[in-house]
Amino acid sequence: MTQSAGVDAAGRELFVRVARKEGRSVARLRAVDYGEECVVETEVFPPNADTAQPAGPYKFADARHATAFVTEAVEALMYLGCDVQAT
């Protein structure tokens, strides 16, 4: 897990996952480790909306729990026919 450019000094970005279906963005999940907690920030893209809608943030005690949450979300998105990629 590496820190990505553009992340503020208070947190370390662990990973970002982007889900698309039929070429259209469906969701974006970003995990950030703040030391005392790990936060998963999410955006969803409703079918008829022009902009993303925030969901969460979801707070976890550590990166392991945040990663488990994102893994389950990614599996559900894939089951629904989305292509999920790391960015």
**2-6, 51-55, 77-81, range with the lowest pLDDT:** 2-6
In the chain, pLDDT over 70 holds for what percent of residues? 90
Task: Report residue 18's pLDDT band, with 50, 70 and 90 as the boundaries.
Answer: very high
Q: 84: which residues sit within 8 A by CB, 6+ positions away?
A: 17, 18, 19, 20, 74, 77, 78
- pLDDT, tens digit, 9 for 90 and up, residues 27-58: 999 999 999 999 999 999 988 877 888 888 99
Distance CA 55, CA 2 (A): 24
Q: Which among 17, 72, 24 is positioned nearest to 42, based on CA atoms?
A: 17
Q: What is the pLDDT of residue 7?
A: 45
Please state the pTM of the whole predicted model. 0.82
Average pLDDT over residues 63-84: 97
In the sheet that holds 12-21, the strands lie side by side as 53-60, 38-44, 24-33, 12-21, 83-86
Domain ranges of the chain: 12-81
